[in-house]
Amino acid sequence: MARVFLALTVLSTPYIYALAQEAYEDCDQNGVEIVLKETENGPYIFKTKLETGTVTIVNETGNGPRVEIIHGYGSEVEEAIEYLKDENSSVRATAAETLGKIGDVSAVESLIQALDDADGEVRWRAAEALGFIGDARAVEPLIQALNDSYDRVRINAAWPLGKMVDVRAVEPLIQALDDDIPSVRMNAAGSLGFIGDARAVEPLIKALEDDDAHVRATAAASLGDLRDIRAIEPLKQKLNDRNPMV
């Protein structure tokens, strides 16, 4: 009874229906159940091949195959954790994404292990998922992920560390302000503002001169959050920044 997880980032009835229709056509047209779950982090669906049962296709209009949206289905966390071990890297990545959307803390240790996956997409999906869950056990692993060779991992490790508001991340995030990728620098600057540690003031003032306008704007916003007197004059000078976003 294999279960395939399909994570969605945008809730769109026609899109969900199309996915369900595809799932229906891919199976034996018997015992296929399409389950839609909606969480704070977005909706996702999965399909299950059942030993017995009827075909259920998601379609909110009621046209075509019968509609059924099922809530409170209980075993998806355990099944998704198992799929983190799948041979197919796309399955592992989608399982990590789904676990982030579910947001259950029981997945934290498995997602931490997934930060060492050989596939870059699995690693960044795991980092993103740990950010959604927000468990403190992920702080040190996410700090290590700031040094990952794949930029999307570093991007998705930088923003959760601000959400977790843990001072252990301050120095690593300051170092991330020198990353080659602007999105990493931007997320690091934003996270330093959330954490609110005074050690970040001078590095953020330096980041006001970053080549990327988004980094400069985020550094300015974080300095505003920190409310340190050292930032007053540098922020005044940025009122004339070449990009109005700043």
Query: Residue 177 falls within a domain, yes or no?
Result: yes
Q: Which candidate, 94, 95, 69, places its Cα nearest to that of 80?
A: 95
Q: What is the pLDDT of residue 49?
A: 40
What does the pLDDT read at residue 131? Answer: 94
Does residue 234 belong to any structural domain of this protein? yes
CATH assignment of the domain containing 221: 1.25.10.10
Using an 8 Å Cβ cutoff, are 1 and 48 in contact?
yes
Model pTM score? 0.71
> Is residue 143 domain-resident?
no
Q: Is residue 204 part of a domain?
A: yes
CB 100 within 8 A of CB 132: yes
pLDDT tens track, the chain, 246 positions: 233 334 333 333 444 545 555 555 555 444 444 455 555 555 555 544 433 333 343 334 433 333 333 333 345 677 788 888 888 888 888 888 888 888 889 999 999 999 999 999 999 999 999 999 999 999 999 999 999 999 999 999 999 999 999 999 999 999 999 999 999 999 999 999 999 999 999 999 999 999 999 999 999 999 999 998 898 888 888 887 777 766
Asked if the structure places residue 179 within a domain, the reply is yes
Nearest to 76 by CA among 6, 160, 156: 6
Residues 6+ apart with CB under 8 A from 152: 120, 121, 124
Q: Is residue 121 part of a domain?
A: no
Number of domains in the chain: 1
pLDDT of residue 22: 56
pLDDT recorded at residue 20: 52
Strand order in the sheet with 3-7: 3-7, 42-49, 32-39
Q: Is residue 60 part of a domain?
A: no
Number of H helices, E strands in the chain: 12, 3
What is the pLDDT, as a whole number, of residue 48? 44
Residue 146, domain member (yes or no) = no
pLDDT at 65: 37
Domain span at residue 209 reads 165-246
